[in-house]
Amino acid sequence: MSRTFVTGGSGFIGRRVLAAADTVAGEWHTGGRGARPADLPAAIVWHRFDIMEPPSVRQVMADVRPTHLLHLAWLDATGGRYWQSVDNIEWVEASLRLAREFARAGGRRFVGAGTCAEYAWTAPVLSEALTPTEPSTTYGRCKNALRILLEEFCGLSGIEFAWGRVFWVHGPQELPTRLVASVVNAIREGRVAELGDGDRRRDYLHVDDVASAFLALLAAPDLGPFNIGSGEARAIRDVAEAIARRLGRPDLVAFGARPTVAGDPAVLVADTTRVRRLWRPRFDPAAALEATLDACLGAGRDKAGGAGS
């Protein structure tokens, strides 16, 4: 029987992984510095530990002896500061240590969270096999270096290693800096949602689909990097307009109110050939956006409810 430990289990993606974990046999464990989250499903075991403290990591790995590790934890993403934060390097260090303690405790399969920002953004379709990994941000460089080091470590330690490269994600409890939440919040407060030209097209996936892709990567025997995306590029304009229509305030979305970032590619989309052998998204893109909107609206009406739980 598998025993899976999930880091970042109270984060945006991790929460949804654990909400869906009851569909998978085996024991599930997670943890963090704080108390057990109220919305954590009863079947999940919570461990109090600090991923930045070596003895704490060693202890929790020795206690649980997980066969599978899903490593989603990374630095606090609030405000988009992770793109250029020096703290990314400390998370590389912490992740290497975690892998080592997982190996020491007898671990068999390590699944990590990467990013589309590992790729050179010089072509619209990003492919594991064909696109060079030439990140242009601190976050991308650190995730890419970590992937290389974890692949090396796992290969030499007899541990299976898979790596999910996450593209753009939306869903319940998303950060207010993310697209859907920022537009919803602006409109509901009667403010103008200020956007770029709106013509950039990106690969958006609902967080529950991202979660089920990670569950598939945990269960499969396949190794290496897998894009986790929808395979479809959607214009930011379309997303924002759909929200504004739903809220009846198309006048509150201002395209061109923010400058277009120089060199920001027109289109970025995942080649999903590889991951589609293991997994398919449950939502179609329009229904996915509606679900996120429902959640954002529900969260606004009833803060205590926890739209994502």
149 interacts with a copy of itself by CB under 8 A: yes
CB of 18 to a copy of itself, least distance (A): 28
59 interacts with a copy of itself by CB under 8 A: no
| Binds a copy of itself by CB under 8 A, chosen from 22, 39, 76, 90 | 90
- The CA distance from 178 to 165, in Å, is 18
284 interacts with a copy of itself by CB under 8 A: no
Q: Is the dihedral of CA 54, 57, 63, 66 positive or negative?
A: negative
Determine the interface stretch with a copy of itself among 24-32, 88-96, 118-126, 276-284 (rule: CB under 8 A).
88-96
96 interacts with a copy of itself by CB under 8 A: yes
86 interacts with a copy of itself by CB under 8 A: yes
Residue placing its CB nearer to a copy of itself in the complex, 153 or 255: 153
Q: How many residues at the interface with a copy of itself, by CB under 8 A?
A: 23
Residue placing its CB nearer to a copy of itself in the complex, 152 or 264: 152
Residue placing its CB nearer to a copy of itself in the complex, 103 or 183: 103
**Interface residues with a copy of itself (CB under 8 A)?**
54, 84-86, 88-90, 92-93, 96-97, 99-100, 138, 141-142, 145, 148-149, 152-153, 156-157
